[in-house]
Amino acid sequence: MYISDLHIHSRFSRATSRDGDPQHLDLWARKKGIHIVGTGDFTHPAWRSELEEKLEPAEDGLYKLKKMYRIKDGVASDSMEPRFVITGEISSIYKKNGRTRKVHNLLILPGLEAARTLSAKLETIGNIHSDGRPILGLDCKDLLEIFLERVPGGIFVPAHIWTPHFSLLGAFSGFDSVKECFEDLTPWIHAMETGLSSDPAMNWRLSMLDGYQLISNSDAHSPAKLGREANLMDIELSYAGLEKAIQKGEGLYGTVEFFPEEGKYHYDGHRKCQLCLTPEQTKAFGGRCPVCGRKLTIGVEHRVEELADREMGYVRQDAKPFESLMPLPEAIGEAIGHAPASRIVQNIYAEMLKKLGSEFEILRQIPVEDIRKQAGYMVAEGIRRLRNGEVERDPGFDGEYGKIHLFRPEEREDTQGQLNFFSWLDIPEKRTEVTDGERQAEAALQAAETPKPADAVWTEETDTMTNSHKDILNEMQEAAVRSVAPVTAVIAGPGTGKTKTLVEKIRYLIQVRRVRPDQITAVTFTNKAAGEMRERLGKALSGVRGVKQLQIGTFHALCLDMLRRGNVPVHLVDETQTRELAESVIADYDMKMTVSQFLNGISFWKNGASARSVVCREAYEVYQDLMEKRQMTDFDDLLKKTLEWMDTGSGKAVKGGHFQYLLVDEFQDIQPLQYQLIQKWHEGGRELFVIGDPDQSIYGFRGSDARCFERLEKDHPDMTTLRLMDNYRSRSPIVDAAMAVISANPGKKRILRAARTKGEPVRIVKASGAMAQAIFVAKEINRQVGGMDMLDAETDRYRNETDIQRDFADIGILYRTHYEGRLLEKCLRQESIPYVVAGRDDYLTAPAVRGTLCFFRSLMEDLPEDMKLAGQLLWEQEPGMTDMIYEQAAETYRPLLKKTKPEKLLIRWMDDMGLQNDENMDKLVQTAVFYKTMEALIYALMLGEEGDILRRGGKKYKSGAVTLMTMHAAKGLEFPLVFLYDVKKGRIPLERPEGETDMEEERRLFFVAMTRAKDELILTYDGEGSAFLDDIPEALSVYEKAGRQKEETEEVHQMDLFELWEEK
């Protein structure tokens, strides 16, 4: 069992002791027997520097005092090493709903780095230098929003919630409910600090506080005051253990309390007139002091009476036990009739600590008889009475501490109460045996570490999909693998084993038909797919000679490799550079379109589809002329150059060769130039094998055509067509719902059979607003992974105790565009949910990011155009000065390029370039963590499709992370649980202001997204739902509402998007 006191102040706060430093906090924590102490005042830079100097890391998120600073006074135990956790208190003074509010909040952080990050943000809002407890004119809701965004995993606790002048529920400057203060962010508050003037029993009387963990701390302004109130925790000694105890109650055993009457604001009254009143008396006097007529200070008892909806004595179901104690010096003073601060009391106190143990051990555990032997009858009797609650109470009021009496004056006249100082000489040594409490803590820790068998919804008996599919092919898959037709087309619906069929086809060619690996080329749609295919083939063909000579890659990767091996100079430009040129041409011609629309239009011209382009011929020719003058090659030019090169002498020599057996994945998404390449590569080859699904053709905006299978058959009338129709991925309700959606498109009757015949209905959840939708997803994820419950929605009727507890990596969240992901990311960060973002989003177009990538690419390839662009984007100096800065940077970073991981390289770059606070550069760093070298990172950003590019959402997570991505990027992926996010009118199908929506392609995209789900599919939206939702049969779906509270709790207002983003 550990004792924690998390709310204290350093000497950098007003009205605090000069001893408020780490070494004295450590000393008094040892005297008191406190295992975890808050540092307090983390926002103060001088205090933070002192903490960094004098503390060293201990367990995760905790610190301990360096031994060189430890004070040895001969009283405090030298064997105990208290831990420190980073904490602070923020005072918010602001006006809300027509009233001035003054509220204090306790912030507990996972480390000093988080303290630096948050302090940097708060410094932009107010003065955090003058006081350890800074006063900010910041709405508590806004403070909470900033805290959750900047400190994932942080703990936010409204402090001493009943204090009349400075608290959440205070009578003078507080609120009447938690929701009134924190509005839609209320679900992120999980604990309340009761304060000295209330105990848990008083708080149990308010149903609105049900569900909050109740913690108690000293709010000490000097180290000697530590432990006036504290928490009892049966936890792992770590920040994670502390967080679980405070946020979820896991391991929060109970609290040690002041007697509430001892608090400075328990009863009503007027200190100046020395008048203490009960709430009933205050009401009788009309809230005015009967002596001077001024307004009375309303105490905690009165305020609780006002807000309580339960009678005194009510005990809530999840109530934690609590003990009411008083500081040991006060107990000694009561026993011998002297002030707690008197020399005699302090001497007795010190001797008791030396001989018996820490203060909390004496007050709570040491046998009374042992205390009597060492300290005399009266002290022992006083502690006995204290433990049993046999006390007399004089309530505190209006800032005047109350008094707790253990004895009547006449009792102290007994000579047994006088201390025999000579008795200290004959005492036993301090005990070394393990206490019952320690044994219980050890047993609980072992139990927590013992893995429990995971529950499962679907057993092998209830799942009709057999394990044998993992090892064998079905009839149609086998037919595809064995096909020897010159041209074979396989129509493979989602989840039908497309990649498995491709891998088995290549294995069959090599192992059965004895085809040399260097005669086989497999074309994939993404680099990730190519990597996965290589990995699978590596396992399937382990030991086969020449297997590394297999050509596997995307069109662009294969073309670039061919041209480089053919010594054809290629200066391939990435999107950042093509955007630069596009912006220039758009400006010159005053074109009313986005850069993306312009570049798509250019691609149509290069793919021979100028009729579909929004770019006029003149603009296209100007753009292409600029490209040629700068000797730049974009992706379409790369394909065209390859086509042209293959008609040259050296190019003709490679015909056949690697392409004797050509296999193409995701055939439905190829563009005209890619189709021409396939035909060119197949010339002189033996077999062409393509696989894909017209119903999954989703790149029409880039020139792909769902009718490509028909075109191939027209060009090759002898083509053999096979169909894979058994879905092994998704549960039957998901498959059937998706088929109902796609069947609304024209075409022949579609067949897709679910091998997994049991499953949950598709959940369709309507939220009251954008924020409510994001909150629902965050809360549902927490529920699915076994965390805290989401906002109460109407989902519980469909779920039971046998639900699978998912890992974060089991969950994918798909949206139509990256724009929808922004609000969602905020909520996931606030809920401390680890996530990665896949795909290209706006940060890659930011000048700092573009300039950085150009700089490092110029070091790799020594390209003048990259040097020039890097200088323009990063430094904006005169040409000569820019060149000098570039050369200095190049000299520093060129040696580091190959030997330093890109994440570390970029962090150093940000420091050197003053980009530490650039959010877009932070996102680039989060992308870099997935790559081993800078070259691999830049290569992925240049050639990778959307699904190839991942971005981590914050710190590293070893246990996996939720994946956020667009529906396009999700192609080829699968997750046990999929959220389709923001499925509303205007989003899906996406309504484009510049032209008509391709409804058939949008429906195909929705079909692709739905079929990424293996076990459970949840569709969310606010406002008016997508028209596609109407195509899902009622028998396969269930409609729910998000954000609706149970009858016992207050409804939580959901903040709209504008409110959340107003800080930006």
What is the Cα–Cα distance from 123 to 574, expressed in whole angstroms?
38
3-state secondary structure string across 367-400: CHHHHHHHHCHHHHHHHHHHHHCCCEEECCECCE
CB-based burial label for 1048 (10 Å; 0-12, 13-18, 19+): exposed
Distances, alpha carbon 826 to alpha carbons 831, 987, 1060, in Å: 9, 20, 9
Q: How far apart are CA 31 and CA 28, in angstroms?
A: 5
The answer to whether residues 723 and 490 touch, using CB atoms and an 8 Å cutoff, is: yes
Percent helix / strand / coil, the chain, rounded to 5? 45, 15, 40
Structure tokens at 249: 């109650």
Burial class (CB in 10 A: 0-12, 13-18, 19+), 718: exposed
Phi, psi of 343, rounded to the nearest 5 degrees: -65, -40
Instruction: For residues 1058 and 734, give the distance between their C-alpha atoms in angstroms, rounded to a whole number.
Output: 34
User: Is 685 annotated for ligand binding?
Assistant: no
Contacts 24+ apart (CB under 8 A), 117-122: 117/150, 117/151, 118/42, 118/43, 118/146, 118/147, 118/150, 118/151, 118/154, 119/42, 119/43, 119/45, 119/48, 120/917, 121/146, 121/150, 122/43, 122/90, 122/146
Q: Binding site annotation covers 927?
A: no
Backbone angles phi, psi at 742, to 5 degrees: -70, -25
> CA nearest 668: which of 805, 489, 929?
489
Specify the residue for token string 């005015």: 288
Residue in 420, 128, 479, 165 with CA at minimum distance from that of residue 300: 165
Report d(CA 621, CA 623) in Å as an integer.
5
Strand extents, DSSP E, 452-502: 487-492
Q: Is the dihedral of CA 900, 903, 907, 912 positive or negative?
A: positive
Read off the amino acid at residue 473.
Answer: L
Residue 170 contacts by C-beta under 8 Å, 6 or more apart in sequence? 102, 103, 161, 162, 163, 164, 303
Flag whether 493 is marked binding: yes
Strands (E), 62-182: 63-65, 83-96, 99-109, 135-136, 155-158
Beta bridge partners of 94: 101
| 498 annotated ligand-binding residue | yes
* Angle subtended by helix axes 635-645 and 672-682, to nearest 10: 30
Strand partners, 954: none
Angstrom distance (rounded) from CA 674 to CA 680: 10
Handedness of CA 869, 872, 878, 882 (dihedral sign): negative
Rounded Cα distance between 62 and 220, Å, is 20
Other beta carbons within 10 angstroms of residue 760's beta carbon come to 19
Q: How far is CA 685 from the centre of its chain?
A: 51
Residue 137 among known ligand-binding residues:
no
Pairwise CA distance, residues 556 & 941, whole Å: 13
Is 933 known to sit in a ligand binding site?
A: no
Paired residues of 571 in beta bridges: none
Amino acid found at 169: L
| Residue numbering of the annotated binding site | 492-499
Can you say which residues are annotated as belonging to the binding site for ATP? Answer: 492-499
